A and B are shown apart, each in its own frame.
Chain A
Amino acid sequence: MRWVIGLPALWLLVLLAAPLAIVAVIALAVPADGIPPYDLGFNLDNLSLVATDPLYRDALLRSLRVAGVSTLICLLMGFPMALAISRAAPRWQNALLLAVMLPFWTGFLMRINAWIGILADDGLIARMLGTRLLYTDAAMYIGIVYTYLPFMVLPVYARLSRLDPTLTEAAADLGAPPWRVFLRIILPLSLPGIAAGVALVFVPAIGEYVIPALLGGPQAQLIGKVLWDEFFANRDWPTASAVAVWLLLVLVVIPGSIVRAIRWLRPDRA
């Protein structure tokens, strides 16, 4: 029976730990002409290059900003959606949830290509606004928010739908106007859902390279695109791996500290 218990551990080892270890090993290797294009060793040059070279640093910072802004927009749009769905009549809730998930039934690239048509210079929206949209930051944000919004709505909804409605009644009964019921009861009690939604949007958004490449402008690079280019265009595996290592550090450290901050900020120690 022991091996049955060991199976999940083996699974984790093969599918998670081993690939991470391989990336880390390559990040410490020296670039070389050959197959594979590196010589094993222990060399911190790649990691320090990625940390100090403005190309990588700026791409990483810009990715953080894009992911942060996208996550914020998703939260501001997704929370009211989740709240509305959780407050809708029970027979409507499943239909509304289905509408949130409906885009997943079509291929991701097809949906992004559809946005190219919608946002194109001779498209309806660009003409109405009288401005260019496609290949700008605005188009990139539209694409990212559109793609990741369901990942914010669903966990927040899951939390809100389990919120006992008598808690909000009790708060109103004790004299709290609706906005204060929201701030003191609904928002704090939905924080775990918000944290899950933020993580589910922020983490993939920071490494996103397809949407910026298809909808965004050529001017500024995001870290996902840099990684792609190092790996496939420059065939510089050690540098690409070093970028990946730094990205992973940022992804683990930032959401981790957000979760910690939320726990610390919870107004439950009054």
Chain B
Amino acid sequence: MTASPFLTVSNLFVRYGSATALDHLDLDVRRNELFVLLGASGSGKTTLLRCLGGFVRPDGGRIILNGADMTGLPPHRRPVNTMFQSYALFPHMSVAANISFGLRQRGATRAETQQRVAEMLSLVRLEGFGARRPGELSGGQQQRVALARSIAPNPALLLLDEPLSALDQALRMDTRAELVRLRRELGISFVLVTHDQDEALEMADRIGVMQNGRMVQIGTPAELYEAPANRFVASFLGAANILSCVVAADGVSVALPGLGVSVRAEQPGAPGPGLLALRSERLRIGGAAQPNQVEGVVTGCVYAGDALAVTVRLADGLVLRVKRSLADGLDSARLEPGSPVRVGWQPDACILLPE
């Protein structure tokens, strides 16, 4: 049941003048799923969300929700609610009136409305705030009111447009966990737009990475991170080191022409010229036991709290970023710039990408 597509977007096409915002995009979102649309600004993720909300009329394609075509429906006739990036709370109404707005539109009785508003206020932990005005609340409280307002009418699908971007760092961490908890409790499908890869990796059941109006890759956070489909996904999620390489016919022998070294991969790639992506946290400095090794010179060593961010220049001038563990303490991990080192990694750390 959970695997059946609940929302199906097929061949969606949107142009703004001569610019193509969505380029024949396909997407399935499952029932009860937190789906994250991840992309840089201008990738089309917000346009896609606005198509789902009904604020942008697509130039082509279809949007099917729970078996019903809602491509041409105006926003007020869709069983979909949006939590806006700016929250868009009604400044002239109390918190309770904001939350009850959607319920009243659906013809709920006064008693039902009151009960639901109380429920929502306790869900977002704002009991006793019903009579306040949005202007009297902090940013975090406004964010929770906006969430409560969009959940109150019990939508089939909740759209969240950069819901955490206006919060400070600490609050954002709490709220991520809070959103995941709420989604589990409510059993609503969430489609969340963000440009923050940490947010996407931590919260999503599945992520769709967008670029230039296309869906580049869809998968679970681990799938996308461990097996990115191309260079863009590899560098957008977790900033990988990217090296040019030539894959031999066996698919796992990988020559690094600039270094005159050959390394082994575990997952075979397409033979021929390609790219080798290496995650900085999979690289180790020293450790003669590593099957794959290259030599280089330390050019920088920056303390980043949970690790050292080390940069190593290789023989061909390319710079590798290495995340050096502090498991044995800071003093033993520190490296002097200029010192020659070996950088090693396991075969399963090799990510082979098409050029």
Contact = CB atoms under 8 A, between A and B. Distances in A.
Interface string A156-167: 000000001011
Given A164-B86, A166-B86, A171 B101 contact: yes
Interface of A: 164, 166-167, 169-178, 180-181, 184-185, 188-189, 266-270
B325 interface: no
Given A174-B81, A175-B106, A167 B88 contact: yes
Contact of B90 (A170, A172, A177): A170
Contacts of B82: 169-170, 173
Nearest to A165: B88
A167 B90 CA distance: 7
B95 to A, nearest CB: 11
B92 A189 contact: yes
Contacts of B75: 169, 172-173
Contact of A180 (B74, B89, B105): B105
21 contacts: A166-B86, A166-B88, A167-B88, A167-B91, A169-B53, A169-B55, A170-B82, A173-B76, A173-B81, A174-B149, A174-B150, A175-B102, A175-B153, A180-B105, A181-B76, A184-B101, A185-B90, A268-B97, A269-B94, A270-B94, A270-B100
A189 B76 CA distance: 20
Contacts of B106: 175
Nearest to A185: B90
B150 to A, nearest CB: 8
B93 interface: yes
Given A169-B55, A173-B76, A174-B150, 16 more contacts: A164-B86, A166-B86, A167-B91, A170-B84, A170-B90, A173-B80, A175-B76, A176-B101, A176-B105, A177-B76, A178-B76, A184-B101, A268-B92, A268-B94, A268-B133, A270-B94
Contacts of B93: 267-268, 270
B92 A174 contact: no
Contacts of B97: 268, 270
Nearest to B85: A166
A33 B150 CA distance: 77
Contacts of A166: 84, 86, 88
B275 to A, nearest CB: 41
Interface in B127-178: 133, 149-150, 153
A6 B55 CA distance: 55
Nearest to A176: B105
B76 A172 contact: yes
B155 to A, nearest CB: 9
Given A170-B82, A174-B81, A266 B76 contact: no
